[in-house]
Amino acid sequence: MPDLPTPQDAAEAALFSECWDAVLSYADLCTSGSLTANQLATEAFTLGMREAREADFAPVRNSGRRAARLPMIPLLLTAVRNTAAAWEAEGLGHQLDPDLRLWLNSEKAARYTGLPLQRPVALRGLRDMQEADAELLWLAEVEALPLSSVARRLGLDPVVVAQELEQVRVLFRDRCHRAHLDTPMAAECRSYARLLDAVTRSSSADTPEDLSRHLATCVQCAEAAACLRLHGGGLPAALVGGVIGWGGLAYLERRRRAAEVRLGAGRPVSADHDGGDPKEGSGRGKVLRHGLLGAAVMISLVALGVSMMPMGGGSGDDTASASQDDRQPVADPGSVLPSADPTPTHTASAAPSASATAVGSAGHKNPDPEPQGTSSATASTGGHHATASATPTPSAAPAACQVSYDLVNQWTDGFQATVTVTTTQALSGWRVQWSFRDGQKVTQMWDATVSQNGGVVTADAANYNQSVAANGTLSFGFLGTWSGQNSAPYAFTLNGESCSSS
C-alpha cells in the first residue's frame, strides 16, 4: 500500500501550487530554452524548500527570534539565481541566458551573496521584517495580486488589508533606512544620509542639485533612495531589484501581465502570444506561463515529492536549443534613480529580460498601416484608452515602421509603458523618438538608452539589440512621472522617419 501524504507533503503541495508559476517565470528568464527552464525551476524549488525548512527549524537565537528569512516567493526566486550560479560554476552555463552569465561573473552578482552589510538595502530591509509583513508587501507590490486575493491568501481581514499594507510600506522604509545607515559608506555618502531621508519622505520635496548629482553616480545611495521613496511607484522595482538582482524588472513586468490576464484586463491573447509574450526565435516553443498547462502538469508530477527530490547536478538536456531567443535585457537595479531626480538621463545596463510579459515588452503585432495622415498612438491600462494623433506620414507610400505604445500601469504620479516598433527594413542600429504633450518625464528605461529634451524623448538602441531583421520588431520599456494628465505620446519616428501607430 503506498504511503499516504504527510501534512508536510500537503503543505508543500499547497506552496507549490501558489509559487510554481513565479519560480518558472523567473527560471524562464534565466535560461536559453523551455526544457532548461523547467529543469532550473525544479532544482531551485527543491533548494528553496530545503532552505525554508532549515530556517524554520533553526534554533532560536538569544534575542528570542529565529534567524530571519525571506518570504517564500522571494526565497524561491533567490534559489533560482543561486542554482543558475551553481550551473555556471559547474560548466553548464551554456544553458543560461548569455547576459545572465556575464552578470553572474561580475561584481554586481557578488553583492547579493557577499558580506551582509554590503548587500542591497532592499534585501536587508525585507529580511529584517516579520515574515508575514514581508509577504504582504511582496505579494501586493511585486506579484501585483489584488488586495482581496492577498487577504484571502494570508488570512487577513479584507476590510483593513489596504491599511495594513500602508503600515507595512512604512515599516519597510524604516528597515531600509536603518540598513542604509548601518552600511559602511564613504564620508560623502554619510554626509548626505540625513538629507536623503528628508527628501524621500515627501512627494513634493525637491531634490537638491548636489544630492541629485551624487545619486547619479553612487549606486549604494541610489538604491537606498529608491527604497526610501514610497511615493512615485518605484517601490516594486526597488524591491525586486534588491532581492533577486538580475532580470528583476523583467520579472516584475511578467507578474503584472499575469495579474492582468487573471483579472481579464490584459489585451486579447493571440495564437502566437502566450499571455502577451512574443514568439521565440529559432522555432523554440516557450514555457507555458501564468499557471497554465505547464504548471498543472508539473504539480501532478512534482508537488507531493518535492521535499524528497535530490539536488540535481544541473546537467542539461541535450535536446534543449542553446540558441538565444529574442528576449531583451533589462536595466540593472543598481541604475535605478529616484523619480524626483530632475535629470533622469542615465543609461540602462545590459541585464536580460524575456518575452513580453517581461519588462519593456508588448505583444508583437504587425497590423496594416493606417491611412496616410491618420495615425494615432493608443495607450491602454485596464479598460481605459487614450488616443493621440501622430505626425502625418510625409509621403503616399506606407510608413516604413509601425509603433505600438502600451501604458502598462499608472499610479498617482508615475506610470510604466512599453514601446514596440515593427520595421519593414533591416536595421543595424536604431533611434526612436517621440513627444509628450503633458510634461511627462522618463525616469528609467530598459533595453535602450534614454535622453529627454523638454517633451521630446530619444531612445537609442543598446549595444546588444541594435540589429533588427526586416519585418522584425524592437521593443523597450520605461518608467515615468506625470502630473495632471497622462495622454499618449505622438510624433513617433524611427531613425528620423515617421511611424504609423497601431
The model's pLDDT over 118-174, given as tens digits with 9 standing for 90+, comes to 899 999 999 999 988 999 999 999 998 889 889 988 889 989 999 999 999 999 999
pLDDT band at 447 (very low <50, low <70, confident <90, very high): confident
pLDDT band at 495 (very low <50, low <70, confident <90, very high): very high
**Distance between terminal CA atoms of the chain?**
61
Question: What is the arithmetic mean of pLDDT over 363-381?
Answer: 38
Residue 10: predicted pLDDT = 54
Question: What is the arithmetic mean of pLDDT over 403-410?
Answer: 89
Q: Are 352 and 463 in contact (CB under 8 A)?
A: no
Q: What is the pLDDT of residues 288-307, one digit of tens each?
A: 333 333 333 333 333 333 33
Question: What is the arithmetic mean of pLDDT over 92-105?
Answer: 92
Residue 13: predicted pLDDT = 60
If one compares 374 and 408, the residue with the highest pLDDT of the two is 408
What is the residue whose three cell numbers read 504511503? 3
Cα dist from 458 to 114, 216, 249, 268, 425, whole Å: 37, 19, 21, 30, 20
CA angle 92, 95, 99 (to 5 degrees): 105
Q: What is the pLDDT of residues 54-85, one digit of tens each?
A: 876 655 554 455 456 788 999 999 999 999 99
Rounded Cα–Cα distance for residues 223 and 239 (Å):
10
DSSP letter assigned to residue 310: P
DSSP letter assigned to residue 311: P
Q: Are 290 and 258 in contact (CB under 8 A)?
A: yes
Rounded Cα–Cα distance for residues 239 and 26 (Å):
15
Say which residues have a Cβ less than 8 Å from residue 460's Cβ, sequence separation at least 6. 430, 431, 448, 449, 450, 451
Return the top range by mean pLDDT from 81-95, 213-227, 245-259, 395-409. 81-95
How deeply is 412 buried, as exposed, middle or buried, from its count of CB atoms within 10 A (0-12, 13-18, 19+)?
Answer: exposed
Res 364 pLDDT > 80: no
Cα dist from 480 to 38, 353, 431, 457, whole Å: 35, 19, 19, 11
